[in-house]
């Protein structure tokens, strides 16, 4: 497994760590940041059924710690959580893992919050209750932008 501890990658003449990314894996790793345990467990179960590798965080602070350990292929997170909210986390995610699409979910959002999230780099914003099929579709679109696009998966063999 190639991680920042075992491999360095050249980028524009500078040596930079790969930030814990396994360059040979073929399943997307997704960070799920959700303070409601039942909702988090449901999300994780659905994502596993899709063949993805979800990692759980119970709040914004845990999510931030996970992001400092590795960059994920996508982040799904609740907007309203104790401590750090989803909107609070967005700038940090954009700095730590700028390529990771972020999907915010909330039961308490409005149009202004949606606009703020999108302005601050969210890929999409889903209002609870939502259909899991809708989340899966948004995730597929988000993942299609990066390593897990159909062309990239075919090239990986």
Grade residue 10 by pLDDT with cuts at 50, 70 and 90: very low
- Give residues with Cβ within 8 angstroms of 33, minimum separation 6: 57, 59, 60, 62, 63, 75, 76, 77, 78, 81, 86, 89
pLDDT at 157: 39
15-34 pLDDT per residue, tens: 333 344 444 468 999 999 99
- Give residues with Cβ within 8 angstroms of 83, minimum separation 6: 59, 60, 61
49-91 pLDDT per residue, tens: 999 999 999 999 999 999 999 999 999 999 999 999 999 999 9
In whole angstroms, give the CA distance from residue 15 to residue 30.
26
118-153 pLDDT per residue, tens: 999 999 999 999 999 999 999 999 999 866 644 334
pLDDT at 96: 94
Higher-confidence residue of 119 and 155: namely 119
The domain ranges of the chain are 27-148
6-10, 39-43, 60-64, 105-109, range with the lowest pLDDT: 6-10
pLDDT at 68: 95
Which CATH code fits 27-148?
3.40.50.2300
């Amino acid at each position: 497994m190639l991680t920042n501890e075992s491999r360095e990658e050249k980028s524009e003449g500078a040596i930079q760590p790969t930030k814990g990314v396994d360059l040979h894996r073929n399943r997307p790793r997704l960070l799920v940041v959700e303070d409601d345990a039942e909702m988090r467990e449901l999300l994780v179960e659905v994502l596993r059924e899709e063949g993805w590798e979800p990692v759980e965080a119970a709040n914004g602070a845990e999510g931030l710690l996970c992001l400092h350990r590795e960059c994920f292929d996508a982040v799904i997170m609740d907007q309203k959580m104790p401590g750090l909210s989803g909107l609070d986390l967005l700038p940090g995610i954009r700095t730590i893992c700028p390529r990771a699409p972020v999907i915010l979910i909330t039961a308490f959002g409005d149009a202004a919050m949606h606009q703020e999230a999108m302005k601050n780099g969210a890929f999409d914003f889903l209002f609870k209750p939502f259909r899991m099929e809708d989340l899966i579709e948004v995730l597929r679109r988000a993942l299609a932008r990066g390593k897990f696009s159909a062309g990239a998966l075919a090239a990986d063999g």
